[in-house]
Structure 1
Amino acid sequence: MIYGYARVSTKRQDLAYQLDRLQKAGCDRIIEEKKSGKDTKGRPEFLRLLASLEPGDILLATVSDRIAREPIDMVLALREVENVGAQLRLLDEPYIDSTFDFADVIAYLRGWVARVQRLKIRERDEQPTAFGVDGIAIALSFRTSALPASA
């Protein structure tokens, strides 16, 4: 059985690209999840998918950060897939393929990169929005015209 796993972090994000790639890759079943990739514990669909794998199955995803955004989680997922005799392949990162000897090393490195990206996203989201000169001028014009800022 060929399983596909598509994940986005929020309900506002779109799975279309991932679903298209997985369908074209010939997945028999595609699991969709809208949960953060921060860790694997908070993703019930992913955990069920891992538990359902059998020898000979193939698990496909588009990129490594769909599987995990932490290096250890990425390697553990890879090991779990391998331990049941299944394979993990990433469509847009063909160098992560559980049939390759150094897949775990590459998976760890990609997991580390995904972790750094997640931290940068979080840092960016926590910063206040910068209005700039034009934005401040517009806000001041609302104030002087007595219009609500949401107008």
Structure 2
Amino acid sequence: MKIGYARVSTTGQDYETQLAKLKAEGCKEIFSEKQSGKSTDDREQLQAALKFARKGDVLIVTKLDRLARSMGDLWQIARELDNKGAAFKVLDQEGMDTSNATGKLLFTILGGIAEFERDLINARTAEGRAAAKAKGVKFGRPGKLEADQVEAVKADVKAGELSMQAIADKHGISRKTVYRLAGAKDAA
């Protein structure tokens, strides 16, 4: 039996094209999900497809990176299918069918390239983040308080006339934030 697996990384993406290709290939059962490809552990539909596979079945994906992005994960999936007497096939990489020796070789080569590509993406992202930080870009959620409001909180703490909770209530922030700002003042 031909079993299809379709995946996109984010909820804003759509896997309709993948589903159409899998149906055209003759997949009788199709598993699909919107989940990051970074790891196979959190992908419930992939796990269900692997569990569903039986001897003689072929798990089909449209592109290799829809299945996994690391060689470790690819080998684990290939081994699991092989142990069941099943194989997998990649539609957009002609010849990628682990039911034959040539397909297994192609699988190894393209899997290595997919992992290399993922490592390059991670390296470029890290470089971009470092460059942005060097330019003073702040990451994360924007602060709730403006600079003058932070100074007012610090002044209230320094004056010592109000409790930390009263200062928090006065400025519409949490008591934890007041303590954090007070600690930052003491450290300066």
Same fold (TM over 0.5): yes
Match of 1:127 in 2: 128
Rounded to whole Å, the distance in 1 between the matches of 2:75 and 2:104 is 6
Aligned partners of 2:59 and 2:87 also within 8 Å: yes
Matched, 1:96 2:96: yes
Structure 2 residue runs of 5 or longer lacking an equivalent are: 133-188
Alpha carbon RMSD of aligned pairs, Å? 2.2
Of residues 33-42 and 110-119 in structure 1, the stretch that sits farther from structure 2 once superposed is 110-119
Give the AA of the match of 1:114.
Answer: A
Aligned partners of 1:53 and 1:81 also within 8 Å: yes
Rounded to whole Å, the distance in 2 between the matches of 1:93 and 1:62 is 8
Q: Deviations over 1:76-113 (max 9, x none)?
A: 21121111011211111122211111444432322222
- Greater relative contact order, per chain length (Cα 8 Å cut-off, separation 6+): 1
Match of 1:61 in 2: 61
Q: How does 1:70-85 map to 2 (within 5 A)?
A: 70-85=70-85
Larger helix percent: 2
Rounded to whole Å, the distance in 1 between the matches of 2:37 and 2:87 is 21
Please identify runs of 4+ aligned residues in structure 1 that moved more than 6 A: none
Rounded to whole Å, the distance in 1 between the matches of 2:113 and 2:63 is 12
Helix, strand or coil at the partner of 1:37? coil
Q: Offset of 1:117 from its aligned partner?
A: 2.5
Aligned residues: 130
Aligned partners of 2:3 and 2:28 also within 8 Å: yes
Identity %, equivalent residues: 36
Helix, strand or coil at the partner of 2:101? coil
Give the AA of the match of 2:24.
Answer: K
Q: Offset of 1:125 from its aligned partner?
A: 8.8
TM-score, with normalisation over the residues of structure 2?
0.62
Matched, 1:13 2:13: yes
Q: Deviations over 1:19-61 (max 9, x none)?
A: 1110111111111111111121121110121112111112111
Of residues 10-19 and 108-117 in structure 1, the stretch that sits farther from structure 2 once superposed is 108-117
Rounded to whole Å, the distance in 1 between the matches of 2:48 and 2:100 is 25
